[in-house]
Amino acid sequence: MTVDVKALVKKVQDHFGAGVGIETAASIALAEILEGKRFKSILEIGTMHGMSAAILAHFADRVTTIDIADRPIADEVLCFLEVKDRVRRIVVPNDTEKEKIVAATYFDMAFLDGDHRRYGLIFDFAITRRCGCVLLHDYPVAAPPLKGAVEYLHWQYPADGWMFDGSGFLLDCVVPAGRIERHAEFAWWFAENGKGDSP
């Protein structure tokens, strides 16, 4: 399904203001990476303003989006873009509750765009990888070819750096078994057998 993402982003920004949604370039890249794919149910971790959930809704029958932060504007954005009927938004108080919701939810693709810190991203990956198809946002595209964790850490974070590099750390240092496809700003992880860790 072709989605005119520029028009969606402009429509949202014209109505809600420039601070709502995600960057036009990121929105376009998300739609392009999903082009030609169709899922029964996508689980998104990290709702923010609901813009990515609205884009995901064009590639799935159903989207469940989970966040620890409650941003009511997300419901307004989803209604405004006429996808609220296909998107279930859940706000949880902590990771323990998030894990319970994820365990009880069917999904055949996960989109991780919540906590970008290493431990947060690795936790979200651990609870979603059972679907066998995980898309991670904010993959560090500027990384030079690296030879392992020590070199990665030295390149990514000099002495005073903070660790909001969860997707890069997971895919380039931890390197979970499976197939990894790196793209500008996004990276796919696919289970070796296509099914992930079945519950």
Mind listing the pLDDT tens digit of every residue in the chain (199 residues)? 578 988 998 899 899 987 776 677 888 899 999 999 999 999 999 999 999 999 999 999 999 999 999 999 999 999 999 999 999 999 999 999 999 999 999 999 999 999 888 788 889 999 999 999 999 998 775 544 444 444 444 445 444 444 556 787 777 767 788 888 888 788 899 998 765 543 3
What 3-state class would DSSP assign to 195?
coil
Give me the pLDDT at residue 163, please. Answer: 52
Query: pTM of the predicted model, to two decimals?
Result: 0.87
What SS3 class is residue 156? helix
C-alpha torsion sign, points 12, 45, 27, 166? positive
DSSP annotation of 189 reads: E
Q: How far is CA 64 from the centre of its chain?
A: 12
Question: Can you tell me the distance from the alpha carbon of 150 to that of 158, in angstroms, rounded to the nearest whole number?
Answer: 12
What is the second-level CATH architecture of the domain 38-190? 3-Layer(aba) Sandwich (3.40)
